[in-house]
Structure 1
Amino acid sequence: MIFDRLIRKKVAAFETEIIQKYYREVENMYEKMRGWRHDYRHHIQAMKVHAARGEYQEIDRYLDMLDDDLTNVETVVRTGNRMADAIFNSKLSLAAERQIQVKAQASLPVALTVSELDLCILIGNLMDNAMDACMELPAEKRLIRIYMEMKGNYLYLALTNTAGGGKKHSFATTKGEGHGLGISRMDAIVRKYDGYIKRASEEEAFSTEILLPQ
């Protein structure tokens, strides 16, 4: 009984930490977007000044700078589900900072039977693990592929990432207690919904597939 309470307490603390972490990441992303919108009028005025002076090359350079700046805050995944969008895009912002290429295709209904907490833990841990593995490689070899959609009455999520070391990777983790707990929590969520999870490891890639009934 005491052991069960300790486990539940540990899991609850882990979930709270995960939610707070992802909340900070999402808030950081939206703070960048709000800042860009706030400065939008100033950018327009600056380009009007260049136009009035006939400084068209300066306008081109200014537009290039704005394009680069907007790329850093633009939402790049639009699944149709607000929570999935928030978590995916907060992680994609981190991936960009780490020079990890991400190719994503995702489409979801607005409402899911999977709770927002569980969806947050699944997507967040998958992306964190994938980014950790990619960082073992030089920048030009870092790649994450994401596919997420409804297949009949099932939510299907597949993620594949490149991995370093030139050897097959174990499903276990050596990155610390919290990291290992993240993997076990993903498995527990899949069991909770009577779903299915499959992991596969190749020499230079690692993939995870998840099916959850809806």
Structure 2
Amino acid sequence: MGTTYRQFCPVAKAMELLDERWTMLLVRELVLGSEHFNDLRRGLPRMSPTLLSKRLHQLVRAGVLEKRVAGNDVRYVLTPAGQELRPVVEAVGAWGARWIGEIGDEDLDPKLLLWDMHRNVDRDVVPRPRAVLHIRFPEVRGTQGRWWLVITPKEVDVCDEDPGHEVDVTLTSSLRDLTRVWRGDLAWTEAVGQGRLDVAGPESLRRAVPGWFSLSVFAGVPRGDALVQV
């Protein structure tokens, strides 16, 4: 651990571990179910692999994580102490959703958005053995402007190159607007009605697509401006 506050207060002692840069976001990824190094990297695309390794080692040493190795399979699993951080992460996220609504351009990341979307697909309601969503962000240049989600009963793959399968539904939106929909700041029907989100494909699938996803866990948090008005 880096910072030492030299206080006996349990809050101070906890923060000596948790307020290191990226640590709480790493805990967020672990709480959301990521256990493999590459999956953790995809949820933290701007964190260097070297720093990620260092933070994982710190959490293992602190008893928050257990490193499990089975041949070439290496997983990082939350211990009971780590699991107790789940309501902490949820409370911080809810507070941020309620009171810090501002999203800067630098906060928008298509890779992170699609990764978060892929782990919130309800595969049981997708009405075919394989469904392919094509997501387009026209204002984003290069390969980052086109993504595919390939959904099967066993898994959901995020592709930044055309996987070669027939596309069932195409979503076209600005990165900001789809991020707002995902966060719960803009309703899907409102985005479609305002022309901020175009959904192309057979009518039955267009109507079904919103039900394939559970939105961000913080989408239902009442926003602070609404509470203030009340």
Quick check: TM above 0.5? no
More helix by share: 1
When the two structures are superposed, what TM-score results if normalisation uses the length of structure 1?
Answer: 0.25
Larger Rg: 1
When the two structures are superposed, what TM-score results if normalisation uses the length of structure 2?
Answer: 0.24
